[in-house]
Amino acid sequence: MSEDRLIHSFGRRRGRKLRVGRAALLDTALPALRVSLPPGEAALDPAAPFAGAARETWLEIGFGGGEHLAWQAAANPDVGLIGCEPYENGVVALLGHVRDRGLANIRIWSDDARLLLERLAPGRIARAFVLFPDPWPKARHHKRRLIQAPFLDLLARALRPGAELRVATDHADYLDWILERAPAHPDFTLVETLRARPADWPQTRYEAWSVSEGRSPAYLCFRRRA
């Protein structure tokens, strides 16, 4: 799948101009952490970027400012975490977390997550997170919503049997949309729907803003069927 054939589920790739010091992270820190695909059509073992140092590999799709991913990396130093985020300002924010907290178990895919998913060796991801994806609230934009059958197909292929998928949204209509589609997928079972975050599910900056605006996020846990 080429990028020009994808209907983007995200908005901008760049926001406000980065300060000089933060922009420098793209040149000094990102190259060592960037996930690279093998040549040709060869599959990528998601453990490969961690050179055998990770017990298992987790994947976060759309990590925003990186708060959740950095927390998980610090709390699970034996796990390798691959974060996908095409928004440059978000990538820089995560690089700042990596630098400031000395995190060695994070790697970054700074493009559409679907381009990575279709090249991952199947059945290797132990946990995945899709937290507060853009709800694209207008009906004419619903085709841009990430949680749709083709994306779930790719994700199911990458996850190992029994793997956990965590999804969060603060948009009531998108919650209904997700609950209609994900449990209907042959490879996913809904485990629970929560209105309070579990202890190992830290709050993101976006979530904090959303709650301050009076919204009530939902936290969904799915299981990859065997």
Full-model pTM: 0.91
- The sign of the torsion formed by the CA atoms of 86, 89, 95, 97 equals negative
How many angstroms separate the first and last alpha carbons of the chain? 26
Residue at 39 is within a domain: no
Q: Which of 3-12, 110-119, 176-185 has the lowest mean pLDDT?
A: 3-12
For residues 125 and 59, the answer to whether their CB atoms sit within 8 Å is yes
Residue at 40 is within a domain: no
For residues 33 and 95, the answer to whether their CB atoms sit within 8 Å is yes
Residue at 4 is within a domain: no
| 11-22 mean pLDDT | 63
Structure tokens belonging to residue 1: 């799948």
- Where helices occur in the chain by DSSP H, the ranges are 20-28, 30-33, 67-75, 88-101, 113-117, 149-158, 172-181, 205-212
In sequence order, the 6+-apart residues with CB closer than 8 A to the CB of 11 are: 87, 134
Q: How many domains does the chain have?
A: 1
Residue at 161 is within a domain: yes
pLDDT tier for residue 15 given thresholds of 50, 70 and 90: low
Q: Determine the Cα–Cα distance for residues 24 and 14; give it in Å rounded to an integer.
A: 15
Query: Which residue, among 6, 39, 42, has the nearest Cα to 115 in the 3D structure?
Result: 6
Count of CB atoms situated within 10 Å of the CB of 189: 14
| 138-148 mean pLDDT | 94
Residue at 26 is within a domain: no
- 30-39, pLDDT tens digit by residue? 999 999 999 9
Residue with tokens 């995945």, as numbered in its chain: 128
Residue at 42 is within a domain: no
* Residues catalogued as catalytic: 134
- 61-79, pLDDT tens digit by residue? 999 999 999 999 999 999 9
Residue with tokens 């975050």, as numbered in its chain: 197
On the question of pLDDT at 93 being above 60, the answer is yes
Residue at 106 is within a domain: yes
Q: Determine the Cα–Cα distance for residues 185 and 18; give it in Å rounded to an integer.
A: 41
List the domain range (segments joined by +) for residue 95.
13-20+47-224
Q: What is the CATH number of the domain that holds 151?
A: 3.40.50.150
On the question of pLDDT at 4 being above 50, the answer is no
Share of the chain above pLDDT 70, in %: 91
Residue at 33 is within a domain: no
